A = this chain, B = another copy of it.
Amino acid sequence: MSDVSPTQTDAQALQDRLVSFIRAFGLHQPERTPCGQPIPVSEAHALAELTRDAPLGQAQLGRRLRLEKSTVSRLVGQLIGRGWLERRPDPGDGRATLLVLTPAGQQAADELASARAAKFARLLEAIPADEREAVLHALDTLMEALR
């Protein structure tokens, strides 16, 4: 099972694990956040991103979320419909609009962050303490390999 060169078997093992993980995590249904909140994952991500640093243009948001601009356009429309977001004209660029969280949006983002943190804390607790660091490191390695 352990070898110096990547064998067909190892690749198969990696594939099986990744596929299982993706399915088990419910990643094929993008309409519900894995945290159980009744809002789309992309909206939750958008809120988190806008909490980190605002204001943001739609194009910038799309790049961070890896979503098409058309998706972002509709996504932003929904967030505004919820009263969580505000669209302001960019003083420096007539084409762009700047996105800003409303107070209600900030609160929603905070609650979502808490729920998500709790979920991940539970997940972390289910991992043996002496393996946590290794799992975190392995995910970093995997991300690095993806680039």
Q: This chain: how many copies in the complex?
A: 2
Identify whether the interface residues of A are mostly helix, strand, loop, or mixed.
helix
Q: What interface size band does chain A fall in? A: 35 or more
Query: A135 near B138 (CB under 8 angstroms)?
Result: yes
Question: Which of A53-61, A82-90, A123-131 touches B?
Answer: A123-131
- Complex CA gap A120/B13 in Å reads 9
Query: A22 near B14 (CB under 8 angstroms)?
Result: no
Query: A123 near B14 (CB under 8 angstroms)?
Result: yes
The one of B14, B45, B67 that contacts A136, using a Cβ cutoff of 8 Å: B14
Closest 10 CB pairs of A and B: A138-B138, A126-B145, A17-B139, A11-B121, A6-B124, A11-B120, A135-B138, A15-B120, A127-B145, A23-B66
